[in-house]
C-alpha cells in the first residue's frame, strides 16, 4: 500500500475523534454562557431585593434572624438579601362597619355582618344598631406578631363592648337622647381592653350610624315618641327664650321701682326733717308769745280746714279790725258792702 493510502486511512480514523473533541469544546462554552447568565440574573435579583421604599402612610418591620425592628422613616432603605425580610404596615386611619346592611358593605369594609346589628336593651327591647369603627396601627411590630389578625381582634372586642353597653341602657336612650353617652362609654371600654391586650392597634373613634326598632309598627311608634320629645324640646326652648326676654325687663322694672322708692324715702325724710325744724321754730315762738302763737295756729288751721270761712277780729271796744281771713275775699265783700251802704244813703 502506498504512503498516501496510509495517510488517507489515518485521516479517516482521526476524523470522528477530531469532531468529537471540537463538539465538546462548544458544549463547554454553552455551559459557561448559561452559568454567566444565571450569575447575572442572581445578582440582579439580589440587588433588587436589597432595597425597599417606605411611603408616607406606612411603616416597615425588618426581621433579621427572627429579630423584628420597626423602620418608621419614609424613603429608600437597604436590607440584606435573604437574611432580612421586610413587611410593610399601613399606619393611616382605617375603619370597618359593624352591623351595616348590604348597601353599606359595598362602600365600607365590614367585618361584622348585618345580623350583628340586632341587640337587646336593658328593658328587654330588641333594636337594630349599626356602628362604624376607626382605628390605626401604632406599633407595627406588635401589629404583625402580637396577634394573627389585630383587626379581627379589635372587631370582636368592639362587638363585646357594644353589646355590654347597649344592654345597660333602655331603648329610649339608645334611640334618642343617650347616643353620645353610649358612644363615649363604648370607646372608653374598648380603649381599656386594647391597653391590656397591647396588640399595637389604637381605637380612634366609634360612632353610631343608625339605630331603629326591628319592626315597622315599633318604628312608627318610636317616631311618634321622638316627634313628641322634639315638640317638648321646642316648647322648653320657647319658654326659656320668653323667660330670658322677660327677666331683664322685670329686673329693670324692679330697679325703677326700687329707685323711685328710695327717692320717695329721701323726700319723705327731708319733709319730716323740715316739719321738725318748722315745729321747733314754732315752739320757740310759742315759748315767747304763747297766746298769740295759739291764735295764729288756730287761724291757720281753720284756713286750711275751711278755706271759704270768713273770720273778722275786732278790737276790745268793737272798733277796728285786727285781722281778717281770708283777706282778699273779705276785701271784695267789704267793697261791695260799702257800695251798697252808699246807695242806700242816697
pLDDT in tens, 252-278: 999 999 999 999 999 999 999 998 888
- Measured from the Cβ of residue 285, the count of other Cβ atoms closer than 10 Å reads 13
One domain for residues 46 and 141: no
Q: What is the DSSP letter of 44?
A: H
248 domain-assigned: no
One domain for residues 156 and 48: no
Domain that holds residue 60: 24-89
One domain for residues 112 and 55: no
Mean residue pLDDT across the chain: 76
Identify whether the C-beta of residue 202 lies closer than 8 Å to the C-beta of residue 194. yes
175 domain-assigned: yes
* pLDDT, tens digit only, all 346 positions of the chain: 444 444 444 444 444 444 444 445 667 777 777 777 676 666 666 565 666 677 777 888 878 876 777 777 776 666 667 677 778 888 889 999 987 644 444 444 444 455 678 888 888 888 888 999 999 999 888 888 888 899 999 999 999 999 999 999 988 888 878 889 999 999 999 999 999 999 999 999 999 988 877 667 666 777 787 788 888 989 999 999 998 988 988 999 999 999 999 999 999 999 999 988 888 887 887 788 788 777 777 877 887 777 776 666 665 555 555 445 554 544 444 455 444 444 444 4
One domain for residues 203 and 98: yes
- Measured from the Cβ of residue 330, the count of other Cβ atoms closer than 10 Å reads 15
Whether this model's pTM surpasses 0.75: no
Q: What backbone phi and psi angles, to 5 degrees, belong to 336?
A: -65, -40
One domain for residues 110 and 84: no
Q: Which of 214, 234, 266 is the last residue of a domain?
A: 214
220 domain-assigned: no
One domain for residues 58 and 103: no
One domain for residues 205 and 125: yes
305 domain-assigned: no
Residues 6+ apart with CB under 8 A from 109: 94, 95, 96, 97
306 domain-assigned: no
pLDDT value of residue 175: 81
pLDDT value of residue 188: 95
169 domain-assigned: yes
One domain for residues 134 and 47: no
Q: Which residues pair with residue 58 across a beta bridge?
A: 90
One domain for residues 117 and 202: yes
Residue 45, helix vs strand vs coil: helix
What's the Cα-to-Cα distance from 134 to each of 204, 211, 233, rounded to whole Å?
5, 19, 32
Q: What backbone phi and psi angles, to 5 degrees, belong to 83?
A: -75, -40
One domain for residues 152 and 187: yes
pLDDT value of residue 47: 60
CATH code assigned at 126: 3.30.479.30
One domain for residues 73 and 147: no
Q: What is the domain count for the chain?
A: 2
- Measured from the Cβ of residue 61, the count of other Cβ atoms closer than 10 Å reads 20
35 domain-assigned: yes
Identify whether the C-beta of residue 61 lies closer than 8 Å to the C-beta of residue 68. yes
Identify whether the C-beta of residue 179 lies closer than 8 Å to the C-beta of residue 135. no
Note the pLDDT tens digit of each residue in 36-61: 767 666 666 656 566 667 777 788 88
Q: Which of 179, 195, 214 is the last residue of a domain?
A: 214
Amino acid at each position: 500500500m502506498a504512503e498516501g493510502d496510509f495517510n488517507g486511512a489515518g485521516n479517516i480514523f482521526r476524523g470522528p475523534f477530531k469532531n468529537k473533541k471540537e463538539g465538546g469544546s462548544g458544549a463547554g462554552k454553552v455551559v459557561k454562557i448559561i452559568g454567566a447568565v444565571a450569575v447575572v440574573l442572581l445578582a440582579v435579583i439580589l440587588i433588587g431585593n436589597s432595597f425597599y421604599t417606605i411611603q408616607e402612610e406606612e411603616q416597615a418591620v425588618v426581621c433579621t434572624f427572627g429579630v423584628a425592628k420597626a423602620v418608621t422613616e419614609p424613603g429608600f432603605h437597604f436590607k440584606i438579601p435573604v437574611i432580612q425580610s421586610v413587611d410593610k404596615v399601613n399606619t393611616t386611619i382605617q375603619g370597618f362597619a359593624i352591623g351595616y346592611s348590604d348597601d353599606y358593605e359595598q362602600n365600607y369594609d365590614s367585618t361584622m355582618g348585618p345580623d350583628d346589628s340586632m341587640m337587646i336593651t336593658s328593658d328587654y327591647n330588641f333594636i337594630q344598631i349599626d356602628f362604624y369603627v376607626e382605628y390605626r396601627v401604632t406599633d407595627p411590630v406588635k401589629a404583625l406578631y402580637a396577634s394573627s389578625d389585630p383587626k379581627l381582634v379589635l372587631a370582636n372586642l368592639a362587638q363585646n363592648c357594644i353589646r355590654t353597653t347597649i344592654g345597660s341602657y333602655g331603648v329610649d336612650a339608645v334611640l334618642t337622647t343617650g347616643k353620645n353617652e353610649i358612644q363615649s362609654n363604648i370607646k372608653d371600654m374598648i380603649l381599656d381592653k386594647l391597653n391590656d391586650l397591647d396588640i399595637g392597634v389604637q381605637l380612634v373613634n366609634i360612632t353610631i350610624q343608625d339605630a331603629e326598632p326591628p319592626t315597622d309598627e315599633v318604628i312608627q311608634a318610636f317616631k311618634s315618641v321622638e316627634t313628641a320629645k322634639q315638640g317638648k324640646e321646642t316648647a322648653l326652648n320657647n319658654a326659656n327664650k320668653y323667660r330670658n326676654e322677660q327677666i331683664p325687663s322685670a329686673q329693670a322694672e324692679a330697679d325703677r321701682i326700687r329707685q323711685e322708692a328710695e327717692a320717695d324715702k329721701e323726700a319723705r325724710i327731708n319733709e319730716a326733717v323740715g316739719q321738725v325744724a318748722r315745729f321747733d321754730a314754732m315752739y320757740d315762738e310759742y315759748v315767747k308769745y304763747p297766746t298769740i302763737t295759739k291764735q295764729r295756729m288756730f287761724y291757720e288751721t281753720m284756713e286750711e280746714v275751711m278755706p271759704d270761712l270768713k273770720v273778722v277780729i275786732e278790737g276790745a271796744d268793737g272798733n277796728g279790725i285786727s285781722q281778717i281771713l281770708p283777706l282778699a275775699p273779705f276785701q271784695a265783700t267789704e267793697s261791695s258792702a260799702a257800695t251798697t251802704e252808699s246807695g242806700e244813703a242816697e
